Amino acid sequence: MMKKKIPSFISQIITPFQENNFEIYLVGGAVRDFLLGRPIHDWDFTTNASPPQIQKLFPKNSFYNNQFGTVTVVLKDKNKKQTLVEITTFRKEGKYKDSRHPEKIVWGKNLEEDLSRRDFTINAMAAEVEIKKNQAVKINRIIDPFGGKKDLKKRLIRAVGDPQKRFQEDALRMIRAIRIASQLGFTIEEKTFAAIKENASLIKKIAWERIREEFFRLLVSPFCAQGILFLYNAGLLKYIMPELIAARGVAQAKHHVDDVWTHSLKSLQFCPSKDPVVRLATLLHDIGKPATARGEGENRTFYNHEVVGAKIARTIGQRLKLSKKDQERLYLLVRHHQFSVDENQTDKAIRRFIRRVGKENLKDILDVRTGDRLGGGAKKTSWRLELFKKRLAEVQKQPFSLKDLKVNGHDVMKVLNIPPGPAVGKILNALFALVEEDKEKNNRRWLLKQIPLVAKKIINENNAAKQSKGEQQ
């Protein structure tokens, strides 16, 4: 395993503890990632100092606003980049009241007591850190009472102690085990996985916001498709996303060799985006197919599956407590994932597509299409898709809405000497129709000259319509 250096700014944490004769250890995922040679994003420490004592060491750059004994210290490196470091007092926990939160927190007496309450062996290691005279940071030794280093070498997720107890204490740990396995490409130890299956229903006690957090981290992990399979085999997926299970065994037609389930997982794995909402849309892009399947073999169809699928995706987004903006984005990406890339499309057709999807979502929907193509066994792109991308860029240089016109409602009222009213909007729409066909016409001088001509044309059309109506009566 390649080892990386601990950054020197961490000495700002260690030194005050050592100078005041407190124990202080790097702990948890930071130690695991250090041993794996992975980037460390979460710097967590544990100590025998109490929260008030910790804050006394960092009076100007720390805060403490939780019941779990965790003080957050705000550090800045030489480039003034901010890093948040969490320092938690040794603790042990009482009984868990809701499969998530302990009834009470008691400060622990020593490091091993603190490590014994943690979830998995690879997260239950601590590192003794030494500060050299030149402020260099060195790991002296790894404290590993539960065999975490061995499990790292075996690429194994194993619960600390009794897995039944670990998951009954905190049911979110079941998804976390699968999420970590998906991030690292690990397997889950047999007894640990059996305990997840046995306790899967406890996930119903966990808040959807917490489930979403772990699920989203799984979606953007390197082995995300394997993670979804883990969730299914563990019996967790039926509580999180039962709609996806309906895709199992739903055969497709034409170029597809996989059922909808397998295709969806492959598409997820190949999606180039690291945005969890885009990854979720890719996973769900064919979620409407089970409900719309008609016929068999090469005659099988899934008419309007994107419409049905978008509604299902919105329901899932609401369940996961996504923001209104992300719910709408998820809906749009699923609803319009079947866009056409015909080389004969007009600029007007492409503009309609951009308006439906939104400029801000174009890259996302192209990423969904890439995942869909690769998940279906096609090449990453095609000459038609590349042409479509070029057309998207070209067409975006043209006006898209009334606000892009070089004239506005005030200009119309001034030229025609009329008050605000529906007529102003009709004239602007007529001008926009002219510009939409030819971007060169979006010229202020030319448009100002067109205002009276367009107004006259609208008046004549209205008079003709009234006359025709009178004759019919």
pLDDT for 75: 85
pLDDT for 349: 87
Q: Is residue 169 predicted with pLDDT exceeding 80?
A: yes
Any residues with CB less than 8 A from the CB of 437 and at least 6 apart, and which? 348
Q: Is residue 374 predicted with pLDDT exceeding 80?
A: yes
Q: Determine the average pLDDT of the residues in 293-300.
A: 85
Q: Determine the average pLDDT of the residues in 449-460.
A: 92
Give, in words, the CATH class of 155-240.
mainly alpha
Helix axes 208-219, 276-284, angle to 10 degrees: 80
Mean pLDDT lowest for which of 59-68, 175-184, 440-449?
A: 59-68
List Cα–Cα distances, 467 to 454, 455, 456, 463, 473, in angstroms: 20, 18, 16, 6, 10
pLDDT for 103: 59
Handedness of CA 231, 234, 238, 243 (dihedral sign): positive
Domain boundaries, the chain: 8-153, 155-240, 272-395, 403-472
Amino acid letter, 311: K
Amino acid letter, 207: A
pLDDT tens digits for 81-101?
A: 788 889 999 887 656 555 555
pLDDT for 2: 41
pLDDT tens digits for 420-440?
A: 999 999 999 999 888 877 778
Phi, psi of 48 (to 5 degrees): -90, 0
More confident residue, 201 or 460: 201
**Long-range contacts at 17-22 (CB < 8 A, ≥ 24 apart):** 17/47, 17/49, 17/57, 18/131, 20/49, 20/57, 22/47, 22/48, 22/49, 22/53
Q: What pTM was estimated for this model as a whole?
A: 0.82
Q: Determine the average pLDDT of the residues in 34-50.
A: 89
DSSP 10: G
Q: Determine the average pLDDT of the residues in 353-364.
A: 92
Q: Is residue 43 predicted with pLDDT exceeding 50?
A: yes
CATH domain 8-153 topology: Beta Polymerase; domain 2 (3.30.460)
pLDDT for 167: 95
- Residue 162 confidence class, pLDDT cut points 50, 70, 90: very high
For 383, the token pair is 């000459």
The mean pLDDT value of the chain amounts to 89
